[in-house]
């Protein structure tokens, strides 16, 4: 887990390949996703959007990407 200063989101690494790791952090309202190779570029989505993303992934709707 990559921790920042107090009050900042705590990032958790969940997948690494070729030196690039996928990292996630969550707040009460949102989920953030970033690559360890570009930590300043963050994709943020609401918890509802995150749930829909997970459902889509589990249903195989993203397999062709």
What is the pLDDT tens value at each position of the chain, 65 positions in all? 344 444 567 999 988 988 899 999 999 999 999 999 999 999 999 999 999 999 999 999 999 98
pLDDT at 19: 84
Coil, strand or helix at 4: coil
Closest CA to 24 of 46, 8, 44, 4: 44
Radius of gyration for the chain, computed over Cα atoms and rounded to the nearest angstrom: 13
Is-above-0.85 flag for pTM?
no
Question: Two tokens at 22?
Answer: 């996928």
């Amino acid at each position: 887990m990559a921790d920042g200063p107090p009050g900042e989101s705590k990032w958790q690494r969940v997948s690494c390949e070729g030196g690039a790791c996928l990292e996630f952090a969550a707040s009460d309202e949102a989920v953030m996703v970033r690559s360890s190779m570009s930590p300043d570029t963050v994709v943020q989505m609401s918890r509802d959007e995150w749930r829909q993303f997970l459902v889509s992934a589990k249903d195989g709707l993203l397999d062709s990407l």
